[in-house]
Structure 1
Amino acid sequence: MGQHETVATSLADTVREEIGAALADVDADLARRYPGDPGTRQPVHTVYVPGDVFTADTVREWGDAALAALDEHAPDAEAFAGVLGIPDSLAEPVYERVRAKLEREPVEDLRIDFEDGYGLRPDAEEDAAAARAAALVAAAYRDGTAAPCTGIRMKCMEAAVRDRGIRTLDIFLTGLLAAGGLPDGLVLTLPKVTYPEQVTAMVRLLTAFEKTHGLSSGRIGFEIQIETTQSVLGADGRATVARLIEAAEGRVTSLHYGTFDYSASCGVSAAHQALDHPAADHAKAVMQVAAAGTGVRLSDGSTNVLPVGATTQVHDAWRLHHGLVRRSLARAYYQGWDMHPAHLPTRYAAVYTFYREGLEQAAARLAAYVAKAGGDVMDEPATAKALSGYLLRGLDCGAVDIAEAARLTGLTRADLDGLAGRAVPNA
């Protein structure tokens, strides 16, 4: 058919125009609800420390303690790989990268806890701790020692602790502003959400704070912890997670699964409360579907089995943690919570092995897709998006270097961002 040859049609232009007009509201709603990946770096984990334990040296102390655990219980790559079952070909590069990460940036996301990890204290004591946390966080961002993401977990919106939680958040945010402003890496966590109205209350609170200080509307976002049965299935029998996201009016940044509170609320006995329990998998599957395409990230929870004591006990805890992290990664939960410094070596080992073991295959498939070279796998745009997202996550956490990604794919960082659908490059 010639380039300028016309083809026959049957429908009048008005039909197309009428359909476009009828779907205009749907188009706008899709764009609002499902904006896609926010284009920012997602931390691979969250570390939380009680408000009264947090100090200016917390991040460095966690890194040093993690390195000390390696030195004592797995002093070289062969020993570490043997404990965790890392393939021989990856043992040395993974071990070297884990040690380098612990020296350079041991904690990617730090949450100063004023909820369960802190408990109920006299008001004057919690006031002082919140003000102190703000001063320390501001100083850490000024001198470059802060974790890339840092913030607090406040008490929830339930009646018994609501006023205390609001006051702590107010003191913390006010202190940050007085010390120079809200850092770009600020993260706030709202726990134990049961009703969308509690999320609405958080939005109202942050909106009022922004207006008081002349901040742009929507400047302050927050995470929602999914740790009650009501946050997954409401009293009316309707799924709740999507309603929580909607109630946040664009402010929710991520959903974090709370292993032990959620398990307990389902009646799971203490010995069986774990990330891989069927009740946990159900809750996280609901979270995953509700968050898909919205730009809201997902985080798995934690294990309370700590790598402490004799070497055999540490190795057992490491194997458990490493396996759980790998399981989460395979299920597209790219973040989780770590409870102890000695969890950091296995967190990074699992993450780095995950991204390095599939690096060459993912890069080759992506290069073939871009070059339209064919091969034994025919990938579609959605798969190319996933492949580039995989490489970008590996770059963000330090598992992969930009030079080797470029060598294997022939693509720049900007190319990868574009294929992944990221609006802006990662910082």
Structure 2
Amino acid sequence: MTQGRPGENEAEASVTLTLTPSVTERIGASLAAVDAELDRRYPGDPGTRQPVHTVYVPGDVLAADTARSWGDQALGLLDAHAPDADALAAVLGLDDALAADVHARVRAKLRREPVEDLRIDFEDGYGNRPDAEEDAHAARAARLVAAAFADGAPSRVPPFLGIRLKCMESAVRDRGIRTLDIFLTALMEAGGLPPGLVLTLPKVTYAEQVTAMVRLCEEFEAARGLTPGRIGFEIQIETSQSILGADGRATVARMIEAAEGRATGLHYGTFDYSACCGVSAAHQSLDHPVADHAKAVMQVAAAGTGVRLSDGSTNVLPVGSTTRVHAAWKLHHDLVRRSLARAYYQGWDMHPGHLPTRYAAVYAFYREGYEAAAARLAAYAADAGGDVMDEPATAKALAGYLLRGLDCGALDDTEVGVATGLTRTELEGFAAPRRSALTVSAS
């Protein structure tokens, strides 16, 4: 007698059930509120571009050519201290096989789009000024932002641009609200809020301060006839109270909830947070244990919410002799690499000299892994198997990795398309699957 293969006669097989359809319906009804809550709280990543960095410029320093100027200064430093691929590889420890490509791509990026996200600072980097002076600078910033977006040249206007206002603490609250009002009002009078507008709320200690920011956004939208929810903002995590509240609960999760869907990011503030925890100035860094703890809490709180994460900055500037520049570059490069490996795909840069190492670290990170990621995703998409058994959640991570590489210029559409056999639209489908697809797996 010949025995058929498993599943050969499945169409003829019959199954017997004990539970009636009404049981399934009752279970579904009992969990309907939970289903709705999951969809509300954990919508997943928005699937839009995330900048690899935020550049920090005081409000009185901003100029029409700030982004282009930063790119030119970065190119000048690269020419002076790492003029070719071998020199850059020696400084940063890049793989020889990657060095030429990375060096060329960094130079091209600094010419084409030197800054991805520009934050005009009216907080610590700006300080306290007479009201008339800050009023004038806020209005001027809005005019420059409006003109930049109207210009549209990638080398002159970053895709993302906005202000960091003063915090919601009583001493500076009124000033921060006034600056926000002046800036947004001037943008509206210049033609409307630009699509890449970003606002940053610093030094948040209580969820109620986030709620206050929400109310401000609502009032402005209503007064100006904007679509409800049009204005979002980042929350900067710079105090211990933003991680752990007086009641012992993780405050940052409450802040995301208090934002009522308007929070776009959580940005770690390296130096304020470290100082708040008593870390001495010489040891305040992105890789200090207190920083790792805070960012781990931020990461778990934000997971699945669509709120993105950004690491902070280093204050060691690549200036002076070649020896000093190389040491600062190596430090910055290694910190960026460390952040990328820990799924912090964005950070803050405080000096034009940080741009070469920001992009070198980012480009090497994506280029060294894209072939393996593309092959795994291609095998998953074709259900071809291989030496790694991937699941929907891993396919999501693989696609997200490739898309981030494409967005920043580390990868090209053609090479990723050839390696995966997938279009950009198909990659986006894997990167943002429905929740039900992620929960059904082989495990």
- Shorter-chain TM-score bucket reads over 0.9
User: For the residues of structure 2 that align with 1:195 and 1:346, how far apart are their CA atoms?
Assistant: 35
Is residue 350 of structure 2 the alignment partner of residue 342 of structure 1? no
SS at match of 1:48: strand
Is residue 25 of structure 2 the alignment partner of residue 14 of structure 1? no
Given the alignment, which residue of 276, 286, 296 partners 1:285? 296
User: For the residues of structure 2 that align with 1:362 and 1:11, how far apart are their CA atoms?
Assistant: 43
2:426 maps to 415
SS at match of 1:129: helix
SS at match of 1:103: helix
1:132 maps to 140
User: For the residues of structure 2 that align with 1:12 and 1:359, how far apart are their CA atoms?
Assistant: 49
Is residue 307 of structure 2 the alignment partner of residue 307 of structure 1? no
Is residue 73 of structure 2 the alignment partner of residue 93 of structure 1? no
1:391 maps to 402
User: For the residues of structure 2 that align with 1:2 and 1:203, how far apart are their CA atoms?
Assistant: 56
Query: Aligned AA for 1:346?
Result: T
Given the alignment, which residue of 217, 229, 247 partners 1:218? 229
User: For the residues of structure 1 that align with 2:430 and 2:25, how far apart are their CA atoms?
Assistant: 31
User: For the residues of structure 2 that align with 1:172 and 1:180, how far apart are their CA atoms?
Assistant: 13
Query: Aligned AA for 1:83?
Result: V
SS at match of 1:250: coil
State the aligned residue count.
423
User: For the residues of structure 1 that align with 2:12 and 2:132, how far apart are their CA atoms?
Assistant: 79
CA contact (8 A) 1:363 1:405 kept: yes
Query: Aligned AA for 2:70?
Result: W
Is residue 82 of structure 2 the alignment partner of residue 69 of structure 1? no
Structure 2: 5+ residue stretches without partners: 1-8, 435-443
Is residue 261 of structure 2 the alignment partner of residue 250 of structure 1? yes
| Post-superposition CA distance 1:339-396 (Å, at most 9, x none) | 1000000000000000000011111111111122222111111111101110000000
User: For the residues of structure 2 that align with 1:390 and 1:2, how far apart are their CA atoms?
Assistant: 39
Q: 1:307 to 1:23 in 2, by over 3 A?
A: same
Please state how far the C-alpha of 1:256 moved relative to its aligned partner: 0.1
Is residue 114 of structure 2 the alignment partner of residue 106 of structure 1? yes
User: For the residues of structure 1 that align with 2:209 and 2:433, how far apart are their CA atoms?
Assistant: 31
Sequence identity (%): 77
Is residue 305 of structure 2 the alignment partner of residue 274 of structure 1? no
| Post-superposition CA distance 1:305-331 (Å, at most 9, x none) | 000000000000000000000000000
CA contact (8 A) 1:307 1:342 kept: yes
User: For the residues of structure 2 that align with 1:60 and 1:246, how far apart are their CA atoms?
Assistant: 38
User: For the residues of structure 2 that align with 1:147 and 1:422, how far apart are their CA atoms?
Assistant: 29
Question: Aligned-residue CA RMSD in angstroms?
Answer: 0.9
CA contact (8 A) 2:396 2:433 kept: no
1:208 maps to 219
Please state how far the C-alpha of 1:7 moved relative to its aligned partner: 1.7
2:37 maps to 29
Please state how far the C-alpha of 1:2 moved relative to its aligned partner: 4.3
Please state how far the C-alpha of 1:16 moved relative to its aligned partner: 1.1
1:321 maps to 332
2:163 maps to 152
1:352 maps to 363
SS at match of 1:3: helix
Given the alignment, which residue of 193, 213, 222 partners 1:182? 193
| Post-superposition CA distance 1:279-318 (Å, at most 9, x none) | 0000000000000000000000000000000000000000
| Post-superposition CA distance 1:203-226 (Å, at most 9, x none) | 000000000000010000000000
Please state how far the C-alpha of 1:422 moved relative to its aligned partner: 6.6
After TM superposition, the score normalised by the length of structure 2 is 0.94
Structure 1: 5+ residue stretches without partners: none
Please state how far the C-alpha of 1:12 moved relative to its aligned partner: 2.0
- Higher alpha-carbon deviation: 344-353 or 139-148: 139-148
CA contact (8 A) 1:37 1:422 kept: no
2:247 maps to 236
CA contact (8 A) 1:38 1:422 kept: no
Please state how far the C-alpha of 1:4 moved relative to its aligned partner: 6.1
1:167 maps to 178
CA contact (8 A) 1:153 1:190 kept: yes
1:45 maps to 53
- Higher alpha-carbon deviation: 105-114 or 74-83: 74-83
| Post-superposition CA distance 1:34-81 (Å, at most 9, x none) | 001101000000001000000101000000000000011111111111
User: For the residues of structure 2 that align with 1:422 and 1:53, how far apart are their CA atoms?
Assistant: 43
Query: Aligned AA for 1:86?
Result: L
- Higher alpha-carbon deviation: 75-84 or 109-118: 75-84
